[in-house]
Structure 1
Amino acid sequence: MPSRSYRRSSSSSDGEGCVVGIGVVAVLSIAVAIAAFGSDEEEVPEVVADCVIATEQADGTYQVVDDRFCDGSSHAAYYHWLYGSSTTDRAGYVRGGTRTLPANTNVTSRNGTVIRGGFGSSSKGGVGG
């Protein structure tokens, strides 16, 4: 009986293909991780502010006034910014929110006044209190 000898092909695709495939997966994984973490810095939460008369109404709402009353001048005892409030069925009134300026957010009034541009940047128009 003739002896058979089998020889393995010296093709380099067996081992190198696997290494290349793993390398590509690793690079793609790192790219996805960088994109995911990098996007956090770009996506700053948006908060709406309303300049309101400081006195809360009996129904728990606040009357909205022009932004100029919350400019940080001597009107502070009568008016303040209310952050994150929601509109009501009653035109010119809002409910809820907080008087505390939210950290790490972009804050803009419903009238377009920029209160703060996120991550501790300076404020325009004053901070209510």
Structure 2
Amino acid sequence: MRKASRSIPLGVVGAVSALVMSGCASADDVTADCVMAAPDGSGAYQIVDDRYCDGGSHASYFWYYGGTASNGHVRGGTTVRPQNVNITSRSGKYITRGGFGFSKGGGGGG
């Protein structure tokens, strides 16, 4: 008994490979806010100037990623620094470029 073999055109394999690789290399954009370490009574964090978070973590301030800002406070994000994304502070000072670990500028997370 012989098994039939199907061939896949080389162009299809190349197109699928390119599609998969573009998905791996693409990066989302995430906004970071420098915030006071203790949330307020509603669970939101008070946004402070980026300079308090420049150069890394501090006991009183840290970067807060994602979330929605309103009236000088942010909520709905995370203190865990996301990987393989473009991170920019709302003021544009803090930038990390995503994809395969390449980064430039900015300080660490909290």
Q: TM-score range by the shorter chain?
A: 0.7 to 0.9
* Counterpart residue number, 2:109: 128
C-alpha RMSD of the superposition: 2.3
- Does structure 2 retain, via aligned residues, the 8 Å contact 1:114–1:123? no
* Counterpart residue number, 1:31: 14
> Which has more radius of gyration?
1
Give identity over the alignment, percent. Answer: 44
Structure having greater relative contact order (Cα 8 Å, sep ≥ 6): 2
Partner Cα separation in structure 1 for residue 87 and residue 9 of structure 2:
39
Partner Cα separation in structure 2 for residue 30 and residue 64 of structure 1:
48
- Return the structure number with greater helix share: 1
Q: 1:103 Cα deviation (Å)?
A: 1.5
Q: 1:56 Cα deviation (Å)?
A: 0.4
Deviations along 1:25-72, one digit per CA (max 9) or x if unpaired, are 713312321221221243112211111111100011111111111112
Moved over 4 A (4+): none
Partner Cα separation in structure 2 for residue 99 and residue 113 of structure 1:
18
Closer, same or farther in 2 for the Cα pair 1:35/1:116, shift >3 Å? same
Unaligned runs of 5+ in 1: 1-22
- Return the structure number with greater strand share: 2
Unaligned runs of 5+ in 2: 1-6
* Counterpart residue number, 2:36: 53
TM-score (norm 1): 0.68
* Counterpart residue number, 1:94: 74
TM-score (norm 2): 0.78
SS at match of 1:77: coil
Aligned residue-pair number: 104
